[in-house]
Amino acid sequence: MKVLVAGELPLVEEVSQLCLAAGHSTDLYLVEDFFSAVQSGYLLDNTSEVDVVIELHNESAAAKNELMVALADAVPFGALILTSALATSATQAASWVPKPERVVGFGLLPPLAANGLVELAPALQTAGASLERAKSFWQGLGYEPIVVADGPGLVRARTVCCLINEAVSALMEGVASAADIDKAMKLGANYPLGPLEWADHIGLDVVLGVMTGLFNEWGDDRYRPAPLLRRMVQAGRLGKKSGEGFYTYEG
């Protein structure tokens, strides 16, 4: 099976590794590299046989719209399009492309394990056959699919990013240091990662995208992004992928 993966770090690399491990022919593009390939004409010779597209852009709806349109134009009409439904709903993403019935939303959060669980969110436009194809594809990667209602964040990202947002507010208010906030949740609540450490792994821009999507969807103050989170993203402190977030990373 030929798979095209396009989006942002770190998920674009982690998902590509899952596809390669499952034996799929996989092409990986960061967003800027994908658009460069489109402009150069390189993609015309490289996407005619794509079976599955995995779109992984969660920073803003406007940028995701542009990427979804370009991906849909580059691949055959029969290709399944899997879109990360974290910052936008699958229904919104499907509305941007021709043949929206081929679009299925999904939810993953880094760091990924070799196998695990993936949330699938059918858009209002999604065909039943497309959802079944999506289930089979993820099962082939070693992931158990569960079907959830469509909407920004789905289940895990909505819950985890809200926790992160509250931890950022606590840090901003001087309740405790970043290290102590994380220690409290790892040792006191048995979390695998502290919320601020988890934010650095996911990418603070992605966390902001999820919170912005939730706030736009529901208009509820509990989803309003913490001011410090906005400022960190404005400063380019995105976490591990930029080398600095709530912690500093080498290399």
CATH number of the domain within which 180 lies: 1.10.1040.50
Indicate if 80 and 188 belong to the same structural domain.
no
Residue 122 lies in a domain: yes
Whether 173 and 95 share a structural domain = no
90 and 188 belong to one structural domain: no
Q: Give the tens place of pLDDT for each residue, 93-151.
A: 999 999 999 999 999 988 888 779 999 999 999 999 999 999 999 999 999 999 999 99
In a shared domain, residues 142 and 178:
no
- Residues 20, 6: Cα–Cα separation, whole Å: 14
Q: Give the 3-state secondary structure percentages of the chain, helix then strand then coil, rounded to 5.
A: 50, 15, 35
Residues 70 and 169 in one domain: no
Q: Please indicate, yes or no, if residue 168 is contained in any of the structural domains.
A: yes
Residue 240 lies in a domain: no
Are 98 and 80 in the same domain?
A: yes
Predicted pLDDT at 44: 61
- The pTM of this model reads 0.93
What pLDDT, on the 0 to 100 scale, is given for residue 64? 93
Range of the domain at 27: 2-147
CATH assignment at residue 84: 3.40.50.720
**214 closest CA partner among 202, 226, 204, 222:** 222
Distance CA 82, CA 98 (A): 14
